[in-house]
Structure 1
Amino acid sequence: MTMRTILKGWVERYLSDEEALTLLLVLVAGFAAIIWLGRMLAPFLTALVIAFLLQGAVSALTRRHVPQLMAVIIVFMAFISVLLTMAFILMPLIWNQMVSLVQETPRMFASGQSWLDELQARYPNLITPDQMQSWIGVASREISQLGQRAITLSLASLGNIMALIIYLVLVPILVFFMLKDREVLVGFTLSLLPQKRKLLTRIWEEMDAQIANYIRGKFIEIIIVGSVAFFTFAFFGLPYSALLAVLVGFSVLVPYIGAAVATLPVAAVAGFHFGISDQFAYVLVAYGIIQALDGNVLVPVLFSEAVNLHPVSIIVAVLFFGGIWGFWGIFFAIPLATLLKALVFAWPRGLQERDAERAAVTDSAPV
């Protein structure tokens, strides 16, 4: 059997149906729009994610007999309150701590160099002077590149201040109308699709609850982990508690990898502030407990119905989609992997049901 025959049989099997072709076109058009128009559509995509996140609260209020418009207004005002709190309280605090950390970086580097000198003096056979100089040279280059990146980022931020203003104005407006006119927008989208869309409906039903559960659960996880980390670091008197807590909170977006990456700055700041002491060990133990509770208690509770993927699949999805779409690729890596899994299982099952229905019709037809 030649490759051409195999491909022909696969096409006839999976793409000979109108619904299968419609599904393929929708997937190709969606991915193409995100790849080529993602930067231009970023405010719309951001608003779509936020509206999807808030729709659960709107539905909960309407189930309690709150009028639809009133529920939308209540949820939207709560969203605006959170947005203003972040813009005027949390962000200035994080920015000030980031500036202080950059200013203190040379002192941290000098302290690290002294620690390496002491380590080399204690263990001259384990660490040679050449190795120590090599480490110091690598660290110096990294710090120099970090400073250059910070300057570049500051200049770029000044140039993108108008884009930030557009986000702050346009995204809330889009979110409000997506919540208020949800049924109209969904109806319009469905009107663009063929009337025969049983396969699309099946895949969407399998994905809808999982995506909603994942986005809302991930948002709750970021808030809980970040808040617990902040109070824990503040309890131990660790400097830059807000900045480190935000980093730890957002590290949950990247399963497995994020926790390992967030450990480095936490350990570095704790080591510089407390030295190699009992307090340093307490901070790392507390941080380890936070990560353990997140992975073994919080994640199973929040995502018990959302994600059923092997860890290898999750890591590959994060690397692949993150490499293509950056932050949004990382954020949606697990939903996209779940979508591919749903396609793998729902597409053949839908075609099998179609064949069974056709066979039943043929058998029941008069001879």
Structure 2
Amino acid sequence: MDVPFWVWALTIGLIVGMLLFDLLGHVRTPHAPTLRESAIWSAVYVGIAVVFGLLILWFYGAQFGGEYFAGYITEKSLSIDNLFVFVLIMASFGVPRELQQKVLLYGITFALVLRTVFILIGAAAIANFSWVFYVFGAILVYTAWAQARSGGHDDEEDFKENLLLRVARRIFPTTDEYHSDKMVVRLDGKRFITPLAITLIAIGSADILFAVDSIPAIFGLTQETYLVFAANAFSLLGLRQLFFLIDGLLDRLVYLAYGLAVILGFIGVKLLIHALHTNELPFINGGEHVTVIPEIPMWLSLTVILVTLVVTTLTSLARNRRDRAERLELQAQEAAERVGEDEDGGAPDAGQLLSEDAPGPRGGTER
């Protein structure tokens, strides 16, 4: 895939422009976005990503178009899973809702820069060392196993501060309260960082862990550096709006972790098979290529990803409907039991009423 410099420059300019538009047009004034605003802008960003994919399809053919869409869908799915962690972080630090947009945008920008560096390192490693595919495949298979074993995110789990955060708290004095959207304030002649800055450090350090499975996953679908960069960038853009759009729906995707485990495991196996086809390690088949198992074509990869996500979403929604029906049935049973208890113990019977109204020794009613 031959991508001229001006196409690279135009793509990077478009992405930087979208980030600046977000920063200057949306989060400059702190506010909590409405559901309508989030839905509109989420659709806009997804639409831009789809149009970009159609241009790849038009100018470079179905193979590269399929690689881009498979990469974009996979990275978007992983980004949605990352939102669970963002929710935990911001809940842990008590970030006011009107400041959450800015926190997310700064975190997304940091993630984009970090992943660009990882992409360049990964591309250079792949170009010089074919055994890197073994490493990437092993990382994804292990991540898939860990994802399936965890079973997703517990609603009651808490965010635990990592070493980087603990060191930051020791080095920099921190205020206990937020000061609007400021990250550094001066109090009594001394500089303090605010909880907003600590939250950004937490999200930034989490982004490093996210990149560990994100970058091998996309390289398992395409080795074209331009497509890897574009799919990552467009999957991150619009993530801020998506957060507010599905914030209340995240806990309903109960099987998302299992779906992502299937996708990551599939891509990991795909990478290992590719590594065998390009094998140069002397202790595997004497350094010769192993072509017994055919490589997985792109159309099959895209099909597996889409089918897995559809099944994951539908089964999650069905599970939520079933759980909601069971809760309603349990509440109805508890209400019926309470009514029965009131009828049995709350109202006096006829015998009690007659004995209470019987005349006393002096012809009156006993009191």
Bin for the TM-score computed over the shorter chain = under 0.3
Instruction: Name which one, 1 or 2, has greater alpha-carbon Rg.
Output: 2
Higher helix share: 1
Larger RCO: 1 or 2 (CA < 8 Å, sep 6+): 2
TM-score normalised to structure 1 length: 0.26
TM-score normalised to structure 2 length: 0.26
